[in-house]
Amino acid sequence: MVEVKSGDTVRIHYTGTLADGTVFDSSDGRDPLEFTVGAGQVIPGLDAAMPGMAEGASQTVTIQAARAYGPRLPDAQQSVPRRDFPDDLDLKEGLRLQMQTSEGRTVAGVVAKVSEDLVVLDAIHPLAGEDLTFAFTLVSIV
């Protein structure tokens, strides 16, 4: 029986849930997720769960925030003057935007708060600070 080791490319079907049971992502109805174990292509906690598994095996792991998307960082929020946005943009809490840093890097962000004069943007991953549970099955070792 072949078992997964670091450097193997694997395919898994998975369902990811939050502590309250809310599903935040799933491969249901899609092709399996393919990644190379130990290459940093998935969150560290999921990567660490793979070695030793055999094709067809299933498991459920709960990954602490630190081994998932990290903690929520208050300094990841930035206030931007409302006038810096196009007038026709319907700014509301939860709106996802692409932002460009002063160094020219593109980052994803979410509108956290909107006032008459300011828009607060949050550039941290929406799942930061969350413990995540993954139920998954190893479909194949490529």
Confidence band, pLDDT 50/70/90 cuts, at residue 14: very high
Provide CATH code, domain 74-122: 2.40.10.330
Angle (CA) 66-23-122 rounded to 5° is 55
Domain with CATH 3.10.50.40 in the chain: 9-70+127-141
Q: Could you report the per-residue pLDDT of 25-34, keeping only the tens digit for each?
A: 999 999 999 9
Residue ranges of the alpha helices (H) in the chain? 44-49
CATH class of segment(s) 9-70+127-141? alpha beta
Q: Could you report the per-residue pLDDT of 84-103, keeping only the tens digit for each?
A: 888 899 999 989 888 776 77
Domain with CATH 2.40.10.330 in the chain: 74-122
Mean pLDDT of 1-18: 96
Confidence band, pLDDT 50/70/90 cuts, at residue 10: very high
